[in-house]
Amino acid sequence: MSVVIRLARAGTKKRPVYHVVVADSRFPRDGRFIERLGHFNPLLPKDNEARLKLDMDKVKAWLAKGAQPSDRVTRFLDAAGVVKRTARNNPEKAVPRKERKAQAEAAAKA
C-alpha cells in the first residue's frame, strides 16, 4: 500500500479549503483517507497564521512510516523545516517556444 500525504478539497464552489490528509494513493482525491493532519486555506493572506495549520507530530510520525508527501505538501513541510525540497532544473522554461523551435531546426540542418 502506497501512502501519501496530500490535499483533499473541501469548501464550497469558488471558496476552496483543503484538508491535509494521509491516504492510500489509490483512493480518490476527496475520497477515503486514513488520518487528517491539518488544513490549508489559500484565500487567506500569506502572512496569516490561520492559512496553514498542521499537526507536526503526526506529520513526522507518518513520514517515519514511509508516507510520501505530494509536491504542494512538500512545499509546506520545507517552509516548516521538516523536509528538504529538491531543487528542480528546467533550463527550457525560460526560452520562448518560437526560439526553441528555430534552434531545433538549426541544429537539425547542421
Q: What is the pTM of this model?
A: 0.78
Task: Please give the pLDDT value at position 40.
Answer: 97
Segments in the chain below pLDDT 70: 1
Q: Where are the domains of the chain?
A: 1-78
What is the chain's mean pLDDT, rounded?
92
Task: Please give the pLDDT value at position 95.
Answer: 73
Task: Please give the pLDDT value at position 1.
Answer: 65
3-class state of residue 44 by DSSP: coil
Q: Are 73 and 7 in contact (CB under 8 A)?
A: yes
Q: Are 37 and 62 in contact (CB under 8 A)?
A: yes
DSSP letter string, 54-80: E-HHHHHHHHHTTPEEPHHHHHHHHHH
Task: Please give the pLDDT value at position 101.
Answer: 84
Task: Please give the pLDDT value at position 87.
Answer: 84
Q: How many CB atoms lie within 10 A of CB 38?
A: 18
Q: Which fold has domain 1-78?
A: S16 Ribosomal Protein; Chain: A; (3.30.1320)
